[in-house]
Structure 1
Amino acid sequence: MTLFYNPLRTAFLVRIPQHAARQLPPCRKLPPPSRIACPSHRSAGYSTNAVADLLSSSAVVRCAEKGLQMVHEASGAAWWASILMTVVAARSLITLPFAVLQRRMAERLRLLRPKMDELAQQLAGEVKAAQATRAWSDQRAAAVFRQELRQRRKEFFIRHNSHPAKIFLLPFVQIPLWVAMSFALRNLTAGRAENKAEQTAEELRTGGALWFRDLTRPDRTWAIPLLNGLLTFALAELHFAAIEQATVLVRAMKVFSRFTAILLVPVTAVVPVGVSFYWLLSVLFGFLQFFILSRGNVQRKLGMPVVPRAKTALEKWALTRRELFINSAGLVCDMNYSVRLLLGMVFRLRFAGDLAIPIADTGFILA
């Protein structure tokens, strides 16, 4: 409410009588200085959202803060190297075992798929015979088939200890870890850590490398945001390209992953470099993990069933180019499945092994 209109915008003194001052409403009390978001926090991507503040003060995030500070103090390295070591340690000790379990379960389900198809065909014959004898309608027969197939698949998964729900154990572990580490670095870069807040924030201002020296500010060059979004998009495409059957759920998840990767670019551009650098390292570790677990010798050592995969269009194109290369040069080439899937053509010279099959009179090709 405006009490006075001052068109000249000059300072003047207003005297209020004592009897009128008693009728004025009391002044509102300002919050303590610790609750007021200073401009440096806002510029560093620190918001005053209630949910974000609640997560930032949770016990899991505080433990992640202490873990980062312990790694930094024990190693004596710069903060960017401390974040790198923390990512490698956390992903290797926490998420990698679940990634191995997920890959083992996915390969086992792929191996059991022919039996599941045979089970569905057998049930379809039984339902068709029951429909003829009991005069069921098509809707009734379809409902009975779906209900009975759901029950038999459940019993089949229990009998072979291969329930598909185990595949989703990795996201349930990896997502909370990603959130906890992100909020922990958010607190450290904003000077809101539980211990040694100002000292840690000051070290983070000079603890970067290359073009991102200050880890408390966003990346103004957009190099990390663009690289993070591109790698996230490529990693999602790799995972979905390895899925042979494109169901409605798989297609929906693929679209959602693409949208998330694109949305991640502007989000990464407004958070501190300490947080975005962690996201980039996490994606790079995901690439390394995918390539290692896709190798046949690694799968055998980890007890995973090695299942032959149907070649995609990209792999068929790469196989054709490889045959031309072999026929023209008389050499033996081999391309790893993951690298071939990502790049299309990456050649590596190698002698013919036990998996070699003849494709021409002049040489062999590894299948």
Structure 2
Amino acid sequence: MFKRLINRQNAVALSSPSPAGLRYGRFNASTKRNFSLFQSVANTFLTLHEVSQIPWIVIVPLSTITLRTLVTLPFSVWQRKRILKQQELRKLVQPITPIVKLRLAAITNKKSKNPVKINANGSLIPLPVQNPGILTPDQITLLAVKETRNRQRKLFKKHNVSLWKNALLPIVQIPLWVTISMGIRTLTEAQLVETFYPSWVAELGFGSFDLSSPLTAMPLLAPILVGTLAVLNVEYNGRLMFSSNMSSQGIKTVSRNSSRVQEAMASILNVSRLGCVVMLAMSSQAPFLLSLYWISSQLYSLVQNIVLNWIYPYQR
């Protein structure tokens, strides 16, 4: 059903069956230097394929769904609940900023008035101020923001939704994605030919699936799918980041594009869009099995975000 050869150039010329170690890609550690973690991932895929006899084009998406469901999905649900709780708590501390500004402005205004004394003639004589403690408007704003952030930090810590926990999902998801990608890349260093596929695929004109190289029959298929799904994920998350209660009801409001938060979010979206272009270019040269993993991962992320937003709607 499947045939795996080490030397891609001599794959056609070899007529005798390859040894088991070469057929299933068991590389000799003395001839090639590999990372043990990536090689372990490749060997795990090989063992799973040998035991289950599942085609490669099926086992990679199934493995992606299984890993994402067991590892990253709980973190995603936990993070969505935590972000919603943070949004509720932010509404409690938002009124603190104008109140602190008013108090500081009142204190500054009081201290800015110079004390006076009345002389014998009944006229007022201003006295010099030793320590006026007058704050500028910028200083008042800065102190008010600091006070709001301190109270917000204490409130988040009290409800166990600290901001640093928002980094747990990327810390888990990014290394997992890189490890699986490099493991599949190690797996496809030798030729991996898929000789069994459904009959409807044969009608498309595929002679065989060389999973260790780009899909020669339809070279733009994998890049288009990877790029489209990546852009859909980025744009969907971007629309979600800028959504609000009023926008969800069809009411348009004036956005403050000049704020630092808005600028940071826009920068993140631009970098993510650039990453989509990079992934599209990489998938055009990557092995088809690796592109299949990227397609499965992007599709899972898109469906996951839609379902989570339906169950736990996020609104600013």
Aligned to 2:297: 282
CA distance in 1, matches of 2:141, 2:292: 52
Give the Å deviation of 1:280.
0.5
Q: Which amino acid is the alignment partner of residue 236 of structure 2?
A: L
Q: Which has the higher contact order (CA 8 A, sep 6+)?
A: 2
The answer as to 2:131 corresponding to 1:131 is: no
Aligned to 2:149: 150
Give the Å deviation of 1:184.
0.6
RMSD: 2.5
CA distance in 2, matches of 1:121, 1:269: 54
CA distance in 2, matches of 1:268, 1:252: 24
Gapped regions of structure 2 (runs ≥ 5):
1-6, 10-32, 112-132, 244-260
Matches within 5 A, 1:308-323: 309=315
Question: TM-score by structure 1 length?
Answer: 0.59
DSSP 3-state at the match of 2:213: coil
Give the Å deviation of 1:236.
1.0
Matches within 5 A, 1:158-237: 158-191=157-190, 201-202=191-192, 204-206=193-195, 210=201, 213-220=209-216, 221-237=219-235
Aligned to 2:19: none
Give the Å deviation of 1:120.
2.5
Aligned to 1:257: 272
Aligned to 1:112: 89
Counterpart of 1:84 (choices 57, 61, 67) is 61
Deviations 1:189-212 (A, max 9, x none): 113xxxxxxxxx44x454777458
> For the Cα contact (< 8 Å) 1:224–1:277, is it kept in 2?
yes
Deviations 1:155-177 (A, max 9, x none): 12112222223222211111111
Cα 1:85–1:97, aligned 2, differ >3 Å: closer, same or farther? same
> For the Cα contact (< 8 Å) 1:229–1:261, is it kept in 2?
yes
CA distance in 1, matches of 2:142, 2:222: 52
Residue identity (%): 23
Deviations 1:35-65 (A, max 9, x none): xxx986xxxxxxxxxxxxxxx8334323322
The answer as to 2:66 corresponding to 1:96 is: no
Give the Å deviation of 1:113.
2.8
More displaced 10-residue stretch of structure 1: 59-68 or 218-227: 59-68
Cα 1:130–1:247, aligned 2, differ >3 Å: closer, same or farther? farther
Q: Which amino acid is the alignment partner of residue 104 of structure 1?
A: K
Give the Å deviation of 1:294.
2.0
**Number of matched pairs:** 239
Cα 1:244–1:108, aligned 2, differ >3 Å: closer, same or farther? farther
Deviations 1:243-273 (A, max 9, x none): 2376221111011111111222111101111
Question: TM-score by structure 2 length?
Answer: 0.68
More displaced 10-residue stretch of structure 1: 110-119 or 79-88: 110-119
Cα 1:66–1:85, aligned 2, differ >3 Å: closer, same or farther? same
CA distance in 1, matches of 2:280, 2:37: 26
Give the Å deviation of 1:103.
0.9
Give the Å deviation of 1:84.
1.3
CA distance in 2, matches of 1:131, 1:75: 76
Cα 1:144–1:269, aligned 2, differ >3 Å: closer, same or farther? same
More displaced 10-residue stretch of structure 1: 273-282 or 256-265: 256-265
Deviations 1:52-92 (A, max 9, x none): xxxx8334323322332232123211111111111111111
Q: Which amino acid is the alignment partner of residue 217 of structure 1?
A: S
Cα 1:152–1:205, aligned 2, differ >3 Å: closer, same or farther? same
Deviations 1:221-261 (A, max 9, x none): 21111111111011111112112376221111011111111
